[in-house]
Amino acid sequence: MHIKLEKRPAPSVAMMVLTPVLSVLLTTLIGVVVFDFLGVDGFGAVRDIFLTPILASYKWQDVAVKAAPLVIIALGLSVGNRAQVWNIGAEGQYIIGALFAAGVGIAAGDMGGPIVVLAMVLAGILGGALWAAVPALLKTRWDVNEILSSLMLTYVAGQVLGYLVGGPWKDPNGRNFPATAPLHDNQVLPIVFPGTTVHLGVIVALILPFAFWWLMARSMFGFQVRVVGAAPQAARHGGFDTKQTIWLALVISGAMAGLAGAFEFTGALHAINLGFPSGYGFTAIIVSFLGRLNPIGCLIAGIVLAITYVGGQVAQTTVHIPSSTAGIFQAMMLFLILASDIFIRYRIRFVTRRPQAAAVAGE
């Protein structure tokens, strides 16, 4: 008997939906085994990372607040990934988005209210888009690989943040800590459910996936992105501009990362310090692939990844493992989801080989 990969006549929709689910389950299984092997309570770790945030209702708001930036960034990245434009620098665009929002807030001084908050959020979008425009320009003018340029700009963004919060924007009443002054109450994003931390950005993160689904499935822009990604030569033949697509894909993903940064700043943290970049921009890459580059998939995957973030903190206190353990689980999920991609277009067959013409049952 041997195992054989056989091409499917058409991509399997069932596998498209099933493989992300199986990847998550397999991740937990491997987690239990490996942690037990390391002498840690493996079942406890997996339970706290994956289940406690779902079962304990007081954790739901944390999950929602953490899922919002992941979903918003992943939506933008999915547009780029569909066009085979790989923006790895969403983290940097997220930082710059937050800094632009902070800049507008500082410039507004004591002014506040919906108009100022809206201006801060729009500035965040603009900042993220501008930061992503740099790799777009380099790519379209000089064919510089956008993976490298966008990633390197993330570190530049980190330095810009360090300079601003440690210098010109440092809180005068902050005991010399490198951080901006906390936002005035009239400059923060409204809380949707009083008594919780669920801010308006969470609601936007719930609506945006549907807008993106409509954009990608129904609009000519979505068609253009899909054609350029699937067959660049056919796209040129069809009269679609590849450079324009690269520009739009990068600018949209940058704008979304910037929006997420502005929401995180105005909605959740209210101040920017050196710990502001928390890896959402990188984790969103996992969300994008776990969600199969599908906007609704990104919404679900964003919630799953947010659960692991929250669960990682729970496990830190209960089973005493570092909260970065969640990162291991997230990476394992990405690994498994990418590896299981093959089952969408291929299926496994167990073939029994006999000396004479082997009879294999057909479909």
Partner 1 sequence: MTTRDTPRLELTGITKRFPGVLANDHVGFAVQPGEIHALLGENGAGKSTLVKMIYGIMQPDAGEIRWNGQPITVASPKAARRLGIGMVFQHFSLFEAMTVLENIALGMDAKIPARELEAKILDVMKHYGLKLEPRRIVSTLSVGERQRIEIVRALLLNPKLLIMDEPTSVLTPQEVDQLFVVLRKLAAEGCSILYISHKLHEIKALCDTATILRGGKLVDTCNPKVETSRSMAEKMIGGSLKDIQRQPGVQFGAEKLVISDLSIPAAGHFGTALKGIGFTVHAGEIFGIAGVAGNGQNDLLLALSGEVLSARPEAVTVDGKPIGLHAAKARRLFGMATVPEERNGHAAVPVFSLADNAILTARDRLGLAKSGMIRAGAAWTYADEVIEAFAVKATGPQAMAESLSGGNLQKYIMGREILQKPAVLVVSQPTWGVDAGAAAAIHQALVDLAAKGSAIVVISQDLDELLALCDTLAVINEGRLSKPMQVAGADIEEIGLLMGGIHGDAQATAAAKEALVHAH
Q: How many CB atoms lie within 10 A of CB 109?
A: 10
Would you tell me the crossing angle of helices 90-108 and 146-166 to the nearest 10 degrees? 30
Residue 257 CB, nearest distance to partner 1 (Å)?
Answer: 24
- The closest alpha carbon to 99, from 202, 184, 180, belongs to 180
Residue closer to partner 1, measured from CB, 210 or 335: 210
**What are the residues whose beta carbons fall under 8 Å from the beta carbon of 264, sequence distance 6 or more?**
68, 69, 94, 98, 201, 276, 280
Residue closer to partner 1, measured from CB, 3 or 358: 358
Residue closer to partner 1, measured from CB, 241 or 274: 241
Residue 340 CB, nearest distance to partner 1 (Å)?
Answer: 18
Contact positions vs partner 1 (CB under 8 A): 8-11, 218-223, 226-227, 230-231, 233-234, 236-241, 351, 353, 355-360, 362-363
Q: How many CB atoms lie within 10 A of CB 211?
A: 12
Tell me the C-alpha distance between 181 and 197, whole Å: 20
Helix, strand, or coil here: 170?
coil
Identify residue 103 by its one-letter amino acid code: G
Tell me the C-alpha distance between 276 and 98, whole Å: 9
Residue closer to partner 1, measured from CB, 195 or 239: 239
Residue closer to partner 1, measured from CB, 55 or 358: 358
Residue closer to partner 1, measured from CB, 237 or 320: 237
Tell me the C-alpha distance between 324 and 309, whole Å: 9
* Structure tokens that stand for 109 in this block: 């001084």
Q: How many CB atoms lie within 10 A of CB 349?
A: 11
- The closest alpha carbon to 228, from 237, 299, 108, 163, belongs to 237
Tell me the C-alpha distance between 313 and 324, whole Å: 9
Residue closer to partner 1, measured from CB, 200 or 249: 249
- The closest alpha carbon to 284, from 190, 154, 196, belongs to 154
Residue 345 CB, nearest distance to partner 1 (Å)?
Answer: 9
**What are the residues whose beta carbons fall under 8 Å from the beta carbon of 77, sequence distance 6 or more?**
87, 90, 253, 256, 284, 285, 288
Residue closer to partner 1, measured from CB, 195 or 362: 362
Tell me the C-alpha distance between 266 and 275, whole Å: 16
Q: How many CB atoms lie within 10 A of CB 246?
A: 21
Residue closer to partner 1, measured from CB, 114 or 355: 355
Residue closer to partner 1, measured from CB, 59 or 226: 226
